[in-house]
Amino acid sequence: GDSVTQKEGLVTLTEGLPVMLNCTYQTIYSNAFLFWYVHYLNESPRLLLKSSTDNKRTEHQGFHATLHKSSSSFHLQKSSAQLSDSALYYCALTTITGNTGKLIFGLGTTLQVQP
């Protein structure tokens, strides 16, 4: 079945350094939609980025990601980490398979930004 892999469980960075959180996925379907959700402590998870277009960069709130179908990747990047970026980040996948709309998440990567 479909799967999402986030290899890093915890990423610790110093403020001002670049951020890169890795996400790879597996699916037999060509119409993959990839997402990044961010979960701040004591809040609900919310959408950060989404893409279904191959090789197109998508940006929001200083973060960006590019879906590369050739390598099945959708890595999240930011040029300069801020303290307020500390949160749990999930990569997620859904595909158009009939009308069921199953959406699955990776294990998540906790980003800790230190002063």
Partner 1 sequence: EAAVTQSPRSKVAVTGGKVTLSCHQTNNHDYMYWYRQDTGHGLRLIHYSYVADSTEKGDIPDGYKASRPSQENFSLILELASLSQTAVYFCASRGGWGNERLFFGHGTKLSVL
Q: Interface residues with partner 1 (CB under 8 A)?
A: 1, 6, 9, 33, 35, 37, 43-47, 50, 90, 92, 94, 96, 99-108
Which residues make Cβ contacts (< 8 Å) with residue 85, sequence separation at least 6?
A: 19, 78, 111, 113
Of 14 and 100, the one with the shorter C-beta distance to partner 1 is: 100
Say how far apart CA 114 and CA 28 lie, in whole Å. 39
Smallest distance from the beta carbon of 71 to partner 1, in angstroms? 22
Of 16 and 54, the one with the shorter C-beta distance to partner 1 is: 54
Tell me if residue 28 falls in helix, strand or coil: coil
CB-CB contact of 92 with 76 (8 Å): no
Say how far apart CA 115 and CA 23 lie, in whole Å. 26
Smallest distance from the beta carbon of 40 to partner 1, in angstroms? 12
Of 20 and 107, the one with the shorter C-beta distance to partner 1 is: 107
Smallest distance from the beta carbon of 15 to partner 1, in angstroms? 25
